[in-house]
A and B are shown apart, each in its own frame.
Chain A
Amino acid sequence: MNVKAELLRLMPRKGWIGFGAAAFAFFLIPILNSVTPPGSAVHVPDYLVALIGKFLCFAIVAVAMDLLWGYTGILSLGHGVFFALGGYAMGMYLMLSIGEAGVYRSKLPDFMVFLDWKELPWFWKPFDNFGFALVAALAVPGLLAYVFGFLAFRSRIRGVYFSIITQAFTYALMLLFFRNETGVGGNNGLTNFKSLYGYQLAESSTKLGLYTLTAVGLLVVFLLCRFIVVSKAGRVLCAIRDEESRSRFAGYNPTSYKLFVYTLSAVICGFAGALYVPQVGIINPSEFQPSSSIEMAIWVAVGGRASLLGGVLGAFVVNGAKSWFTVALPEAWLYILGVLFIAVTLFFPGGLASLILRKKAAT
């Protein structure tokens, strides 16, 4: 098999150059930080490493959203669910790894002591195993997406119907996770983590390591999605997006293709959530808010649909703007976000990617 031809089928030469440049840019930070001492002009401060690490997580989510919305035409307004569930799985592991170093010096997580619980609930017990937590972060979102998607796609719920049902889905789970009785920290969520697999989270080297891991994760997810998009299955996905009935009549079964993409994107979101929590240091039910999920859609819309690069760009641009505006001009941010939603859909359907790729916008 000709490796070069296969690679070129995945991305054109220019694409690979861009991919390499992006990878170099991502890895510049850990390289710089390990060769220069703290305080040097090119040494990136810890908070910035964590911030960019967060953006990388969002970019992974955006790639997954793009695969689902841009290529398959399914707008899920509930992908925050899978992101948050991945985050909670990791958070539960981190919570248990605190051990007896919490405020109450108890083996139980602090919030359980606070609620006067005597014993770890059964579903918490396996989470002291790092491997289990990692598997759960991928499997729980995947299974949930499979069941939900199966029921929804089977009865041919599509378009706005699907969008508003996924919104109700995340809304219901938000209410569930806000309850103390659910057993994952209620309103406050899980926080005050100390260490991950033996590494102290407060240390710069751990932060740098997590950042590097996330960057690698983004690159791998990008290639994986790219692989799907250029494959035959990817063509079918686009066909379903453009003419679902016609592709059904042509002998393809849209339900199973949609279910596959929906589940895969949920697993990717769970992965991103698991990387997000140790870097941000908290996971709480606000991740389930319908507004968080809709913002995921705007990352993709701003970046440009049906181009995976667009998702990455959009996640960085929108979140960068958010981080800056919510500090500098907090009142203006909602206006800017609102105008962004309207302007992108009305005047800029191709998104940022269309400027780079000179591609016609997908509708």
Chain B
Amino acid sequence: MNIRSLISLCVACVLALASASARAQDLRQAAKDLGDTARVEAAVDVITQSKDPAALALLQALSDDTLRLDTAGTPFVAGEGNALSAVFGGAGKPAGALTTPLVDNRLRRQLEPALASFKLAFPDPKVRLAAAKDLAKSRNDELAPLIRAAAAKERDPEIKRAFGLALAQIDLNGSDKQLKLAALAAVTAAADGSFKPDLERMTGSASAKPSETDADVRKAALSALQAVNSRIMLISFVGNLFYGLSLGSVLLLCALGLAITFGLLRVINMAHGELLMIGAYSTYAVQRFFSSYFPTHQDWYLPVAVPVAFVATAGIGMALERSVIRFLYGRPLETLLATWGISLILIQTVRLIFGAQNVAVANPSYLAGGIEVMPGFVLTYSRLAVIVFASAVTTFVWFMLQKTPLGLHVRAVTQNREMAAGMGIATRRVDVWTFGIGSGVAGLGGVALSQLGNVGPELGQQYIVDSFMVVVLGGVGKLAGTLAGAFGLGLLNKLLEPAAGAVLGKIAILGLIILFIQRRPQGIFALKGRAAEAM
């Protein structure tokens, strides 16, 4: 590098600095001029020329009618309520009364392309992307050249695609054949659902004639429409799959405890749904406790609610076993009725304590929102959490059944009660503990349900029929059966729903279950040998 070039570099730097400060001066002056109807158009031009971030804020505020000028001509942006923020930074207080610059239609026509071109060339890619999406919605023909120019310069592939779609929105309604074909190519590649009405209009339908006269374009539009439709189908399929998985997880949590107690004791606990409901109300109570005593740690209520719900419902379950159900062993139909009576009492008690109205359990902040996996499809965190939670609970139950001494005893009693008793297992004690754990798992299901919807005294009734069906479908004595039954039923439910509607889907499923047990009366994973005969 020689000395001359060094000097010229220094000069350039100085000039650049000087021009930057000059530009900032111009910007302030232009902002002041925005209040003057005679000079406002020139001022907008000046602001548009400067590439300052503050200029964007100025133009945006002007366009949104949120720009305020004080008597010194210092610009402010009016926010929510009476909040004012100074455009050029600093904690400047407005001097004197505020005025709102007048924006008439002529100015608006000037402002819109100015704002668009400014955003389209903005250094921050997020702003450019948002601008492209806005432009796709507004479909302003006059901005087409601007977008085209910006698209040619754009490097970021995602933003380039967004520009292409914004252009396509405009070009599809234009008259140039080449532009239309290019636009359709972009639409086919992106398969964006928002183009569906346009494409349907262009290709026509049984009742309407195609609006497009050119055969080539119509053909391209048709293939674009197919691409869009298949994407929409894919999204709804993936969405239903996800909902099916989350419904399956809920059913799993509901049916797990039921399957354990039914497998062990051969009794159906009709109050099982109410244990779910009590689990959900325990969550509500813990949340209320946190909001009155630890309002700053509100989000922590959920992890605390899990053991609370488990202990509460397990306690109730064990009390029920000791006080009612153990007297009815060997009389399964009577147990059905007695536990139904218990469920009525539990419902009425909860109604008297918490009121007959539904109560709302708020999601903690870390479960609010979701991830957008595809345009138009969001995986909500609360449903994801339910799936994860159900897997964790299932693992816990599996571990309990397979790896602990209690689990060994439970399995032994499930297979052959007399033989187990003969081997010295205290079957009655196993019954109590198993009933407690089964009920506790129902309480955990209640915690999960509280995160998905409202909590009311009749909550358990909504799920009990479905959980029974899971047990019927999955058979008893095998965790895998319950797992397969729950997810089979959940997925089937959600995948049938779009085709048949929610109600007909449910009826179809009941029909399928009845047909299914024609072939396999003992469920999907039937026990073999003597254990099967004991049923």
Q: A residues touching B (Cβ–Cβ < 8 Å)?
A: 69, 73, 75, 77, 148, 151-152, 154-157, 159-161, 163-165, 167-169, 171-173, 175-176, 178-179, 290, 294, 297-298, 301, 331, 334-335, 337-342, 344-346, 349, 363
Contacts and interface: CB of A to CB of B under 8 A. Distances in A.
Interface in B501-516: 503-504, 506-507, 510, 513-515
B338 interface: yes
A164 B510 contact: no
A171 B327 CA distance: 30
A160 B268 CA distance: 7
18 contacts: A69-B333, A73-B333, A159-B333, A160-B262, A160-B268, A160-B332, A164-B468, A164-B471, A331-B352, A334-B344, A334-B347, A335-B348, A337-B344, A338-B341, A345-B334, A346-B327, A346-B338, A363-B331
Interface string B422-451: 000000000000000000000000000000
The B interface, classified by DSSP as helix, strand, loop or mixed, is helix
Contact of A163 (B333, B348, B521): B333
Nearest to A156: B521
A172 B465 CA distance: 10
Contact of B268 (A156, A157, A163, A297): A163
Contact of B472 (A161, A176, A340): A161
Contacts of B328: 345-346
A178 B342 contact: no
Interface residues of B, number: 41
Contacts of A349: 334
A340 B338 CA distance: 9
B518 interface: yes
A163 B461 CA distance: 16
Q: Taking each of B266, B331, B341, B465, which has the highest tally of chain A beta carbons within 10 Å of its own beta carbon?
A: B341
A337 B465 contact: no
Contacts of B507: 172-173, 175-176
A17 to B, nearest CB: 33
B465 A168 contact: yes
Contacts of A159: 332-333
B267 interface: yes
Contacts of B503: 175-176, 178-179
A243 B107 CA distance: 93
B388 interface: no
A165 B468 CA distance: 8
Nearest to B333: A75
A285 B46 CA distance: 71
A334 B345 contact: yes
Interface in B467-525: 468-469, 471-472, 503-504, 506-507, 510, 513-515, 517-518, 521
Given A172-B506, A331-B348, A301 B337 contact: yes
B340 interface: yes
Contacts of B514: 148, 151-152, 165
Contacts of B266: 160
Contacts of A148: 514
Contacts of A154: 518
A341 B348 contact: no
B324 interface: yes
Contacts of B333: 69, 73, 75, 159-160, 163
A151 B337 contact: no
A342 B342 contact: yes
A117 B324 CA distance: 53
A14 B461 CA distance: 45
A341 B334 CA distance: 9
Contacts of A179: 503
B341 A337 contact: yes
Given A155-B521, A160-B333, A175-B506, A341 B340 contact: yes
Interface centre among A69, A155, A331 (most CB of B within 10 A): A155
Contacts of B338: 341-342, 345-346
Contact of A339 (B336, B345, B347, B518): B345
